[in-house]
Amino acid sequence: MKKLARPLPLLALLLSAGALFAHHGNSAYNETARVPIKGTVTEFVWVNPHSQIYLDVKDSSGKVVNWGIETNSPGILTRAGWTRHALKAGDKVTIIMCPAKNGQPVGYAGSGDPGTKVVFDDGRELLFTDKTK
Amino acid sequence: MRIHSFSPLALILLMVSGANAQAPSKGASQPAPHRDLSGVWAMQPGGETSADDKQSPGGAIPSMTAWAKARFDLEKPGYGKRAAPGGNDPILQCDPMGFPRILYFPTPFEFAQVSNRVLQIFERDNVVRQIWTDGRALPNDPDPLWYGYSAGKRVDDTTFVVDSTGYDDRTWLGAAGFPHSEAMRVEERYQRVDRDTINFTLKINDPQAYTKTWIALPRVFKLRPRAEIRQGYCVYSEESAFTRRIREPGALKTGTAPKN
């Protein structure tokens, strides 16, 4: 008898939509959105309580804008498998993030908003899931 | 050879049961150890209905007294519905977060039990909160402390009740800026229902600030046996750089949001 494929869990589909589970609670960001921005990391700041990722992103007119992405504390990131060397200047990445509502080049990607993540050009991903669960 | 045919519904049920059988078993929950809350615990998300619930007890917030309303109206949060540049949330300059706000911050804490105290060790700022278990009463005129003065007792083998007062009134009850007075009384109840789960309730009595008891949203803590508490100090120079580079630009009332 042909082996049946494992179905994609329904929960994963809902989480990829992001809208239902946002609980970060910061109304500066549009937490129902998951917007990809692609660019080159200029700085990775590993500090409490908000680490930050800065990256140069070319907009539709070709102008380079430096974006600042708020993320989690080193404690939370460590439990998700990150280290302070996880990102470095020059890394080419796409960040799925929640953008600021006011159109400023800042946003949030972290454990508070499922579906946000960092994807390297070579396909590797940095996620925010607690691996100590 | 006998050929079986399945209806679509039966096929779906077969796939689901197969998937469950292949998923790693997490095991049935183990019973709670008696009179022991030791371990690293993480508050589970859930139930917050408002941006004002960030880092706060949540639930139905009672009406504020005139004293509290006057304080509340002066506060400029860094997050939430009233966020604006130039926020005066004490934690933006790394002042102590205070209690119970630190409990609702999304980093874990560890309970460690010694002979006459239960220590609650928070990752945020490496705060060690002492809960005295030697039967003492709360002081009548306590010094206002950033994390209050706490005494706890076990009411049965799995339930620990903590009573606290003597709070420095510069701390906020959450990121939205809800105030409290020095005379705030907080009652916490930690009920370990199985090895990995604590059901938690909290009540705030503060007649100087609120017209009724503030009954917090019930919460659940889960054990994290593989987690370690890190040194999560807030450093003013780092926090002010973050405020300047990200928080304040995000709080400006300008521009339009980018679309997906």
End-to-end Cα distance, chain B? 54
CATH architecture label of A23-126:
Beta Barrel (2.40)
Instruction: Give the pair of three-digit tokens for residue B26.
Output: 């997490």
- pLDDT for B8: 53
Separation between Cα atoms, residue A96 and residue A99, nearest integer Å: 9
pLDDT digits over A62-120, tens only?
999 999 999 999 999 999 999 999 999 999 999 999 999 999 999 999 998 999 999 99
B175 contacts B205 by C-beta, under 8 angstroms: no
A8 and chain B in contact, CB less than 8 A: no
B104 contacts B57 by C-beta, under 8 angstroms: yes
What's the average model confidence in pLDDT over B29-38?
96
Residues in B touching A106 (Cβ below 8 Å) = 246, 249-250
pLDDT digits over B209-242, tens only?
999 999 999 999 999 999 999 999 999 999 999 9
Peptide bond into A114 cis (omega under 30): no
Helices (runs of H) and strands (runs of E) counted in chain B: 4, 10
Report the predicted TM-score, pTM, of the whole model to 2 decimal places: 0.83
B173 contacts B179 by C-beta, under 8 angstroms: yes
- pLDDT for B148: 97
A29 and chain B in contact, CB less than 8 A: yes
Question: CA geometry: angle at A102 spanning A98 and A108, to 5°?
Answer: 25
Question: Can you tell me whether residue B112 is helix, strand or coil?
Answer: strand
Separation between Cα atoms, residue A6 and residue A124, nearest integer Å: 23
**Phi/psi-derived region of residue B209, left when phi > 0, alpha when psi is between -120 and 50, beta in every other case:** alpha
Determine whether the interchain pair A100/B226 forms a contact, defined as Cβ–Cβ distance below 8 Å: no
**Nearest chain B alpha carbon to A130:** B227
A31 phi and psi angles, rounded to 5 deg? -85, 0
Comparing CA positions, the residue from A121, A116, A108, A90 lying closest to residue A17 is A116
- Interface predicted TM-score (ipTM): 0.82
Q: Which of A23, A78, A102 sits opposite B230 (nearest CB)?
A: A78
